[in-house]
Structure 1
């Protein structure tokens, strides 16, 4: 029996998404084309792989049995293609979270990770789509659920976050602030909070009810807006180089200190050798710079890892799963 890789890929993606429309979108094909591929595969195998009904899509028992070897088949097919076209091309890396300047961290390891080719992502969904389509090999930014089950991530850096306020803010003279002291201030965000998960979760956790959004026209413009109103504040990584603006203050946050979690993200089963070089360089720099220290009694993370690091050892790669 000769199996068609495109049909197997359609099956695996649908099994991961449990939604024909979303699966078709990640493969950049129409839903009709995806359904036809799966129907042909079911015909060839002589059994249904999905239950389709009013309660959504779910795997049959045959589909459950077929999924693990189907994933192995795709990994082998991708490895075969890589062996033919060669793996000496640069590692294609994209970033997101531009206001927080992800390139600051990536630049610290780039020279030890082989040749890199940078993409132009703007947010996590667009970078995820590029990974799933094979347009890039790896990505760097803050990972938060839900994400596609075909992706793997490694935590790279936990970075303390400061409050950024204007000189006329009522708390501007404080040497340090607890997050809940900002409860009466206005969280100024460079876009809709439903697309800025870290700021959204910070506001919910510490009772920041006053929230307002701007347009992301760059860090200088954004911080000028923050400094212009004594009610406003925002959050930025503590060591982010800031433009020299009059009346702008960065105040450390304590009890707890919010941490912004940077991660590497890649397709499960990707065999590009640059991935191991990049992850090794991140682990080396993380150990030297104590990037992964975390104390739950002192620090705050929106989604603490299951085995949160408390020393300088890197967190092992872990598959990201999305709810059913």
Structure 2
């Protein structure tokens, strides 16, 4: 019996998602194509792998038994391709992020990683980057991981960045040397997109009672900050050490009691055998230790999901 790896991969993704639509999305194929692949696999095996009903899908007993060796089959196929292509191709790393934190982090890490060959790319947001990782289009990416993490992905926390409030110079709170987050109640949180797609800002607003928010089109950091400077009611959040563009009428004020921290992780697909991944994760660990990137004090800092 010869198994088709594409069919096996479709089964694995559907088993992990328990939703044919989401599984198809991670593979960049239609739901109909994914269903056909799984149906052909079930026909070849002579047994049903999923129970399909009005409440979704779930694995049959045969599907549960098949899942572990199916994952091993997909991993072996990917390892075989990597061996044939060779190990000298660059490590493909996505540095998506309108705040440039992944790029800044990678620049500091690359100095410690020596001659690690890298190929950089830019996604649109973390969901698109996640799909690219699962499809094998990229090898690693930076992002803020919040539960639940998609099956098939692994991550390591590499950096906790203190966050400042950025306000118009005409904002009533702009003159202070520091601010508590709850002092921003009554101000308008300006976001680079819909708040329900920006989990950190959404949780910050909930935690500190920020009731008013507004969003604009993300046309780059300078344009984003010009919109903040234009309205004395607005504020936004930026990493404390980010180089700010020269925007008149703007002020950056540290947040304290507590200081919000933005957690950046390095993500990769489990089973990815590229040797550069070990070098990159090791360089991240060294940089984090030397630069004290992972310092967290619960009595003075705030994280939406405190690290274990």
TM range (shorter): over 0.9
- Shift, 1:213, TM fit: 1.1
Superposed CA offset, 1:162-186 (max 9, x none):
0111221111121111100000111
Please list every run of 5 or more consecutive structure 2 residues that lacks an aligned counterpart in the other structure.
none
Is the 2:98–2:221 contact (alpha carbons within 8 Å) kept by the matching residues of 1? no
Superposed CA offset, 1:116-160 (max 9, x none):
101121211111121122111111122223442011111110010
Partner residue in 2 for 1:319: none
Q: Which moved more, 1:80-89 or 1:94-103?
A: 94-103
- Shift, 1:63, TM fit: 1.1
Partner residue in 2 for 1:316: none
- Shift, 1:302, TM fit: 1.3
Q: Which moved more, 1:262-271 or 1:27-36?
A: 27-36
Please list every run of 5 or more consecutive structure 1 residues that lacks an aligned counterpart in the other structure.
308-324
Q: Which moved more, 1:196-205 or 1:152-161?
A: 196-205
Partner Cα distance (1:62, 1:299) in 2 = 48
- Shift, 1:244, TM fit: 2.5
Aligned partner (choices 186, 189, 192) of residue 188 of structure 2:
186
3-state DSSP of counterpart to 1:240: coil
Aligned partner (choices 162, 165, 185) of residue 164 of structure 2:
162
Partner residue in 1 for 2:278: 276
Instruction: Report 1:305-324 matches (<5 A).
Output: 305=307, 307=308
Instruction: Return closer, same or farther for 1:249/1:89 CA change in 2, 3 Å cut-off.
Output: same
Partner residue in 2 for 1:266: 268
Q: Which moved more, 1:287-296 or 1:128-137?
A: 128-137
Partner Cα distance (2:179, 2:100) in 1 = 20
- Shift, 1:43, TM fit: 2.4
Partner residue in 2 for 1:224: 226
- Shift, 1:286, TM fit: 0.4
Partner Cα distance (1:122, 1:6) in 2 = 26
Which runs of 4 or more aligned residues in structure 1 lie more than 6 Å from their structure 2 counterparts after TM superposition?
none
Partner Cα distance (2:287, 2:179) in 1 = 29
Partner residue in 2 for 1:98: 98
3-state DSSP of counterpart to 2:99: helix
3-state DSSP of counterpart to 2:189: strand
Q: Which moved more, 1:140-149 or 1:246-255?
A: 140-149
Partner Cα distance (2:248, 2:24) in 1 = 51
Superposed CA offset, 1:2-52 (max 9, x none):
322122111101001111122122222232322222122222323211110
Aligned partner (choices 292, 299, 302) of residue 297 of structure 1:
299
TM-score by length of 2: 0.95
Partner Cα distance (1:32, 1:209) in 2 = 42
Is the 1:143–1:263 contact (alpha carbons within 8 Å) kept by the matching residues of 2? yes
TM-score by length of 1: 0.91
Partner Cα distance (2:105, 2:158) in 1 = 9
Partner Cα distance (1:29, 1:218) in 2 = 31
Residues 1:238 and 2:230 aligned together: no
Matched positions, count: 306
Partner Cα distance (1:223, 1:34) in 2 = 43
